[in-house]
Structure 1
Amino acid sequence: MNSPSSPGPYDGTAQEGPPAGCPLSSGAPGGTTRLYGPEASADPYGIYAGLRKRYGAVAPVLLEGDVPAWLVLGYRENRRVLDNPRQFTRDSRIWRDWEEGRIEPTSPLVQMVGWRPDCVSQDGEPHRRLRGAVTDNLQALAGRGIRRHVTHFANKQIDAFAGTGRADLVAQYAEYLPMLVLTRLFGLAEGEGRRLATSCAEVIKGGEDALHHNDVIMRVLAELAERKRDEPGSDFTTGLIEHPAGLDEDEILSHLRLVLITAHTTTSNLLARVLQLLLTHRSHLSGLISGQLNISAVVEEVMWNTPPLAVCPGRFATADLELGGQHIKTGDLLVLGLTAGNLDPEIRPDAGVSVQGNQAHLAFSGGPHECPGQNVGQAIIETAVDVLLHRLPGLRLATPAGELTSTASTWESRLDRIPVEFVPQGAGV
């Protein structure tokens, strides 16, 4: 539920937007490059490279609805923003374009950068209190047989196609497996998994249906929280309800939403990318099967080159300042180019050089808001890959590697499909 002072439903009348490419407010970044739409979806890497060449480490861009923002492209500049919440707050209540009524309450951006009573939207002591509740419960989950749950659902997914000798590892495996695990960890019915996975993906993708799908998620979670008050269990939902931090109803629902959306979308995307790397680089696959290569090293490489969130929303300047040669105004929105920062030629002049053993990537963001669910995501991916490789001997791509395609939104780039072939197997293990 949104605070009355937060991006969400509000009493002011939204103004008609300006012409495309026109700055929305005085002092706002005046770029004309859109991070959404057909061109951005087809070639986000080309967009990042073009912006870096023209502007340097920080570039003015337009988000959905031609809302102005700064895209942080440089690795060091991303680190500065992530590590300095006093200069770059996560609290969108100071977002100038919101305060001055230029953001429609139905804008899909509200689902990604709008204020909510959760730890991501706040800094300082409120952030520490709420993040502590999330972190404590995620750590408890990581120690409660999560790999057993992944193994169960991975085998169940594989059973559905094992006898055919063919599959699409995006649609039939990576796209839904993390959500099925999360339903178990949250105390949800397994049957809710596919609907929630679809809705989470639509919220991240943005567009006109984002608000509807967010409402679907919130209705399911509200019913879950109500049930868990009457029927507590050893699950993430009960843990939030009973945590000593004393979260109120809005805080509980907001954190259930936050963890569900981010954990599923990032883990499903990362799992697909790990499978892509293994199947397009046979040396990686053979090294993993032989035990000469550790799965964590493969995941690490993917997080450097294709992090699950390409662009991380968002931070807001608390004062006029300079960043990457650009003059940032108080209340300006900044979005963090995690992919662009990881590929910054200032720190990686040769992107083809191995980064094995180097964990300084931006894939989990950083600073006080660094992703607290890394261990859970890692456990899901490692177990999912292990089960798949053991169940499907002879696993190989059924199409040339160069024909694998991706579709990007503002925030992420997702593989469309991974068609594979393998020796047909009987169901079950």
Structure 2
Amino acid sequence: MSQPPGPIDAPPPGCPAHRGGGHTPAGPPLYGPEFAADPDRTYDKLRAQGPAAWVELSPGVDAMLVTSYDAALKVLRHPNFVKDARRWRALNEGRVTPDNPVIPMMGWRPSLLFADGDRHRRLRTSVTDALAKVDPVALRGYVEHSAVQLIDEFAQRGSADLVSEYADRLPLLVFTQLFGAPDSLVERMVTACAGMIDASQDAQQAGANLAMCLGELIAIKRQHPGRDLTSWLLAHPARLSDEEMIHQLVVLIGAGSVPTTAWIASATMLLLTDDRFAGEMSGGSMPIGDALTEVLWTLSPMSNFCFHYAIDDYELKERPGAPGVLIPKDVPVLISHAAANTDPSLAGAHVRKAGNHAHLAWSAGPHVCPAQDPANVIATTAIEKLLDLLPDMDLAVPVEHLTWRPGPFHRTLTALPVRFPALSSSVQSTSNTGEYRWTTPSSAPAVSTPPEPISTARPTGSGPRGPQRVWSSLAKWWRGQ
């Protein structure tokens, strides 16, 4: 594993980011059933402390959470904040152990998610170039095909849990297709990826299992390349190493599937329960796009994420002259997409309404999500197909009985039980998937937040070519051993 960059200066006296000895929680927990049931209550308390405040992500894991919209944009764009998690002082000093359940989400990996500068541009360019070859028409066809397969499994029963039986499975099935994964790997990848995001005690093993699956996939694609994201990344001029390949794919499948799962489930819930949307459905107009936008504003699928580290102590202010909060160097700084998007200061100038895409659900700055368009195709098509095949669907429990998964990073339902008139026959014959034709689209994904120049020019540097067989010991590497 690579070593942390450079020596770290001695901590300032009394700085809470550098506490030694016994652990004292620095802030309210962002985990457990109480937080999951009402995170807005915690965000309101944190806002009273300024644009950022201390929180606990897991027992013994302190971080600073940015709850202000304007301050979040500063962190996402300011050169004093970097993504390199090797700066994490508490982990380097052993106060956070490598087996902590948040490590699979926060620990440094050789991927674009943890890179800065030229290295980030090189890795990001490989991803954006590969994604540009995905034909949205063909992608929609595969989503429809997968959706019909899943719906067919419960359509004749008259009831379903749309989380475990549909939203959890559909994006992962689509991404394994985009990766060109053989059937023998699909179920293993789906199970492993789902286990990483909850930050439970099994997250370490789930992360190692996913990396091992992707290592096997890379070996297959080196021998038998195809028209898929894995093969395109392998053939890219960036010349990614096998280690870089694995972690690029981890980012793609994790960031592309887990938030999309939550997006599908939450938007479907709104369509079934919120009069602003449910009332329209009965009249034949289903504002799926409006519901999806509403979720990105008010139920951000990745509620707290986008880790950064200050390279020097930094006073974070929402605007000049406003009270500031000291951000110590080398501690995790998270963006609360959920709190920033519901920041009370947004009332008026930034009205959360259909057509306004200035939310931070896709992040902003150099690390803005490169897969917005594919994610939108997957979520929109998934809900359209569901409502098309099961138009008389209703929620099977009162909306107040719905619960949310615990964990600091995402906001997603534990279940979405529905009922509908059981179908007498299979729905498979209604599928119209078209052909899988991956080509370069004519336009690039649009950035949703206020504009900021982002360079994606292809660098001249490159990584080593050829397999390195790094996956043979990747499970140990993943755990920091």
Structure-2 change in CA distance of 1:292 and 1:88 (3 Å): same
Q: What SS does the corresponding residue of 2:346 show, helix, strand or coil?
A: coil
- Using the TM superposition, give the Cα deviation of residue 190 of structure 1 relative to its aligned residue in structure 2, in angstroms: 3.9
TM-score (norm 1): 0.90
Instruction: Please say if residues 274 and 298 of structure 1, whose CA atoms lie closer than 8 Å, have aligned partners that are also in contact.
Output: yes
Q: What SS does the corresponding residue of 1:407 show, helix, strand or coil?
A: coil
Instruction: Identify which of structures 1 and 2 has the higher relative contact order when contacts are C-alpha pairs closer than 8 Å and 6+ apart.
Output: 2
Spell out, residue by residue over 1:161-182, the C-alpha distance to the aligned partner (whole angstroms, 9 max, x if none). 1112111111111110111111
Paired position in structure 1 for 2:31? 36
Paired position in structure 2 for 1:10? none
Amino acid at match of 2:104: Q
Instruction: Please say if residues 23 and 68 of structure 1, whose CA atoms lie closer than 8 Å, have aligned partners that are also in contact.
Output: no
Paired position in structure 2 for 1:52? 47
- Using the TM superposition, give the Cα deviation of residue 297 of structure 1 relative to its aligned residue in structure 2, in angstroms: 2.3
Paired position in structure 1 for 2:357? 359
Paired position in structure 1 for 2:60? 66
The answer to whether residue 320 in structure 2 is matched with residue 330 in structure 1 is no
Spell out, residue by residue over 1:377-429, the C-alpha distance to the aligned partner (whole angstroms, 9 max, x if none). 11111111111111113111122222222123110122121111212222122
Amino acid at match of 2:226: G
Paired position in structure 1 for 2:72? 78
Looking at structure 2, the residues matched to 297 and 136 of structure 1 have their Cα atoms a distance apart, in angstroms, of 29
Q: What SS does the corresponding residue of 1:379 show, helix, strand or coil?
A: helix
Structure-2 change in CA distance of 1:163 and 1:369 (3 Å): same
Q: What SS does the corresponding residue of 2:102 show, helix, strand or coil?
A: helix
Q: What SS does the corresponding residue of 1:140 show, helix, strand or coil?
A: coil
Looking at structure 2, the residues matched to 222 and 26 of structure 1 have their Cα atoms a distance apart, in angstroms, of 39
- Using the TM superposition, give the Cα deviation of residue 286 of structure 1 relative to its aligned residue in structure 2, in angstroms: 5.2
- Using the TM superposition, give the Cα deviation of residue 199 of structure 1 relative to its aligned residue in structure 2, in angstroms: 2.1
Structure-2 change in CA distance of 1:293 and 1:275 (3 Å): closer
Amino acid at match of 1:348: A
The residue correspondences of 1:253-292 to structure 2 (distance < 5 A) are 253-285=246-278, 287=280, 292=285
The residue correspondences of 1:343-382 to structure 2 (distance < 5 A) are 343-348=342-347, 354-382=352-380
The residue correspondences of 1:406-417 to structure 2 (distance < 5 A) are 406-417=404-415
Instruction: Please say if residues 168 and 261 of structure 2, whose CA atoms lie closer than 8 Å, have aligned partners that are also in contact.
Output: yes
Spell out, residue by residue over 1:82-110, the C-alpha distance to the aligned partner (whole angstroms, 9 max, x if none). 112x2110111222223333221222232
Looking at structure 2, the residues matched to 283 and 92 of structure 1 have their Cα atoms a distance apart, in angstroms, of 42
Spell out, residue by residue over 1:165-205, the C-alpha distance to the aligned partner (whole angstroms, 9 max, x if none). 11111111111011111111111134544443332232111
Structure 1, 187-196 or 288-297: larger mean CA deviation: 288-297
- Using the TM superposition, give the Cα deviation of residue 137 of structure 1 relative to its aligned residue in structure 2, in angstroms: 1.1
Specify every segment of 5 or more residues in structure 1 that has no aligned partner in the other structure, as ranges: 8-21
Spell out, residue by residue over 1:21-69, the C-alpha distance to the aligned partner (whole angstroms, 9 max, x if none). x94615999723122234323322211112223x122111122232221
Looking at structure 2, the residues matched to 114 and 404 of structure 1 have their Cα atoms a distance apart, in angstroms, of 32
Structure-2 change in CA distance of 1:394 and 1:38 (3 Å): closer
Amino acid at match of 2:237: P
Looking at structure 2, the residues matched to 395 and 101 of structure 1 have their Cα atoms a distance apart, in angstroms, of 51
TM-score (norm 2): 0.80
Instruction: Please say if residues 29 and 70 of structure 1, whose CA atoms lie closer than 8 Å, have aligned partners that are also in contact.
Output: no
Structure 1, 321-330 or 33-42: larger mean CA deviation: 33-42
The answer to whether residue 175 in structure 2 is matched with residue 187 in structure 1 is no
Amino acid at match of 1:70: M
RMSD: 2.4
Runs of 4 or more, structure 1, over 6 Å off, are 27-30
Specify every segment of 5 or more residues in structure 2 that has no aligned partner in the other structure, as ranges: 6-14, 318-323, 431-481
Amino acid at match of 2:341: N
Structure-2 change in CA distance of 1:180 and 1:422 (3 Å): same
Structure-2 change in CA distance of 1:30 and 1:168 (3 Å): closer
The residue correspondences of 1:17-416 to structure 2 (distance < 5 A) are 23=16, 25-26=18-19, 31-53=26-48, 55-84=49-78, 86-143=79-136, 145-190=138-183, 192-285=185-278, 287=280, 292=285, 294-324=287-317, 325-348=324-347, 354-416=352-414
Structure-2 change in CA distance of 1:65 and 1:29 (3 Å): closer
- Using the TM superposition, give the Cα deviation of residue 249 of structure 1 relative to its aligned residue in structure 2, in angstroms: 1.1
Q: What SS does the corresponding residue of 1:79 show, helix, strand or coil?
A: helix
Instruction: Please say if residues 306 and 363 of structure 2, whose CA atoms lie closer than 8 Å, have aligned partners that are also in contact.
Output: no
Instruction: Please say if residues 405 and 415 of structure 1, whose CA atoms lie closer than 8 Å, have aligned partners that are also in contact.
Output: yes
Paired position in structure 2 for 1:12? none
Looking at structure 2, the residues matched to 275 and 173 of structure 1 have their Cα atoms a distance apart, in angstroms, of 11
Spell out, residue by residue over 1:246-289, the C-alpha distance to the aligned partner (whole angstroms, 9 max, x if none). 11111111101111111110111110011011001254245357
Q: What SS does the corresponding residue of 1:48 show, helix, strand or coil?
A: helix
Q: How many residues align?
A: 410
Instruction: Please say if residues 29 and 60 of structure 1, whose CA atoms lie closer than 8 Å, have aligned partners that are also in contact.
Output: no
Q: What SS does the corresponding residue of 1:406 show, helix, strand or coil?
A: coil
Looking at structure 1, the residues matched to 229 and 332 of structure 2 have their Cα atoms a distance apart, in angstroms, of 32
